[in-house]
Structure 1
C-alpha cells in the first residue's frame, strides 16, 4: 500500500532507512519539495510506529476517462487567430501527465517517460488525445509524455508527485494534468486545496517558473464541491468544460461560494475522427489541454504572467456563478486581439 509521508528531518537517509526498516517499509521516492516521501508499507500504524514521520497519509487514487479508438483530433476553436500572430509555441516545453503517448503520434514528442510497469504499450488513448489537442494549438511546442496510467484507474498520489519532480528536472514550462480523484476513495471531498498532492502542485508552481494546468473533473452533477484534486490546488489553472452549445457542461465539476474554482472554461468536446466516421469525446480532460495549448502557443511571445492574465481578462461571461465558470469561457479571438495589441504595446513601452 502506498503512503505519502512528511519526514521529521530533511537529513533522512533513504538507503539507511530502507535497510533498517526493510520488514516495515520501502521509501520509493524522495520528493524535491515539502520534505515528502513516497512510501510502500502494509499499514499506516506500521509507519507511525517507526517515529520517522510527522504525518502519514494514505495515497489517493486518480482516474482518466476511457477513450478507445484510432483517430485524428479536431477541436471547435478556430486556431487561425494564433497563426495570424505567428504564435506557434516554438521551443516551449510542455509536459503531459497522462496515459502515455507513442512516438510518432505527436509530431514534436521529444521524450516518453513511463512510471508504470507496462512500458511501451498503451492501454488507453486518453493521453494521445490530450497531446494532439495541445499540438493543434502549439505545433512548435516540444512535448514530453509522463505516463502514470495504463488502463485509466491505476494512478496514485506518489506517481503524480514523482511526475511533477520529473517535470521540474526537465525544466518544463507548462504541465498538463488531465485526471481526477476517484470520488469513492477514502478521502472523498475533504481536501480544499491543502492535501499532499495539491500542496505539492502549489509548491512546484511557486518554486519554479512552471505553469500547471489541471482538469476540474467530471462530477458536476454531484452536490457540493465536486472538483477533484489536483484541480483544487490554488496555484493550478483549473479548467471546467462547456458542451457543444457553448453552455456549461452538466458534468463539469464545480466549487461553491467558499471555494472559487474552476478558474476558466474551455470547450470540453473534440471530434475523434477515424476513416469515414467520427465520435465526440468529451469532458474536462479535453478542456484542460485547450488552455495548455493556447498558453504554450503564446508563452514566449507574451510571457507567462501576461499570457495568463490576458487569457482571464478576455473570457466570455456565460452568466454562471464564479464557482461554476471562473472567469468564463476562453475567447481566443478576443484574447489574441487584446494581448497582441494592448499587451505587446504596453510591454514595449515598459521596456523603453
Structure 2
C-alpha cells in the first residue's frame, strides 16, 4: 500500500488532515474479519449468504478490499515491524454486506437484497460510497443484467457514489462486467495489469477489462494500481497480496472517501465530473481508452 499511495499522490491529502473520518463506505463482498486495522470502525455487518450474525470472511477477498479502502496499518506498526500498510482512507467507517460465498461466487438475488438494504439504511449509517468488486459478464441473462443496473443507478440517484471493478476479462474490448457498464457509476480498471506479476497470481498480463460498452460508453473511466497489492488478510491480523481490478476499485473508493470528507456537499455526479477533470496522466498519455489515472492531490485541492 505504500507503493500505491505514492503512485496516486496522497501526500497532500494527508498533510492537510484528510483521512476519510466520518465518511461511511459500504462494501459488497465476501465478508470481513475483526482485524485490528479496522478498530471499531466496522459499523454494520450483514450476511446475505448464510444469515450469520458475527463478523467473518470465509474467502478473504472482502477483508483485503476493506483494508485497501480503510485499513489503519495498526498491525503492520505493532506486530510486524514493517512499513505502515494502511489503506487510502484509514479513518473511514465500513459497512460490510456479505453477498459472495467462500469461493467468491454469488447470485443476483443476494446482491439485490444487499442493495435494497443500503437504500433503506442509507440515512441511518450516512453511507456516501458503495464499493462493488462483484460482477457478471454481459452474457448473463438480460433480466438479471437489468435488475442489477437499475439497482446501482437507483443508489446513485439517492446520493451514493457507486464504484465498481471493471473485471479481469481483458484485454479484449466490451469485456467490462456488470454493473460496471452502467452509464452513471464509476468503473475502475487496473493501471498496472501489463506487469509480470499477474501471471504468478492466476491472472494473465493485460487482465483489466476494457470498453467501450455495447452502447459505446468509455469504460473503465479511471485507472488505479491493482497488481500485487498488500492489504489485510483474514488470518489473525495478517496481510496478504492480491491482484485484480477488485483491488484497483477500492483504491479509488478510498480516494473518494478523502474527497467527500473535504467536499461533503458534492453529489455523485459532481464528484464524478471532478474525477474526469482531475485525472492524470490522461488516458491518451497512457495509451489507454479511459479518462486517466486517479490523482488524489488533484482531486482534493481547491
Give TM class, smaller chain.
0.7 to 0.9
Structure 1 partner of 2:79: none
How much does 1:190 deviate? 7.8
Structure 2 partner of 1:226: 175
Structure 2 residue 268 is the aligned partner of structure 1 residue 294: no
Structure 2 partner of 1:271: 230
Structure 2 residue 213 is the aligned partner of structure 1 residue 254: no
Structure 2 partner of 1:152: 103
Structure 2 partner of 1:44: none
Structure 2 partner of 1:77: 5
> Which whole-Å CA distance do the structure 1 matches of 2:129 and 2:88 have between them?
14
- Rg (Cα) greater in structure: 1
Structure with the larger helix share: 2
Q: Is the 8 A contact 2:64 2:240 kept in 1?
A: no
- For 1:129, which of 59, 64, 67 is the aligned residue? 64
Structure 2 partner of 1:7: none
How much does 1:278 deviate? 8.1
Q: Secondary structure at the match of 1:243?
A: coil
> Which whole-Å CA distance do the structure 2 matches of 1:116 and 1:278 have between them?
25
Aligned length: 257
Structure 2 partner of 1:23: none
Rate the CA distance shift 1:153–1:252 in 2: closer, same or farther, 3 A: same
TM-score (norm 2): 0.75
Structure 2 partner of 1:319: 284
Which protein, 1 or 2, shows the higher relative CO under an 8 Å CA cutoff with sep ≥ 6?
Answer: 2
Q: 1:287-345 deviations in whole A, cap 9, x for unaligned?
A: 110111111112132233454332221211143799x5421111223333xxx23xxxx
Rate the CA distance shift 1:212–1:230 in 2: closer, same or farther, 3 A: same
Between 290-299 and 109-118, report the one with greater CA deviation: 109-118
Structure 2 partner of 1:116: 49
Unaligned runs of 5+ in 2: 71-86, 197-204
- For 2:292, which of 324, 328, 348 is the aligned residue? 328
> Which whole-Å CA distance do the structure 2 matches of 1:321 and 1:139 have between them?
29
Structure 2 partner of 1:238: 187
Structure 2 partner of 1:212: 162
Structure 2 partner of 1:349: none
How much does 1:113 deviate? 0.8
Q: 1:156-176 deviations in whole A, cap 9, x for unaligned?
A: 111111111111222121010
- For 1:177, which of 132, 137, 140 is the aligned residue? 132
How much does 1:81 deviate? 2.3
TM-score (norm 1): 0.65
> Which whole-Å CA distance do the structure 2 matches of 1:169 and 1:313 have between them?
32
Unaligned runs of 5+ in 1: 1-72, 342-352
Structure with the larger strand share: 1
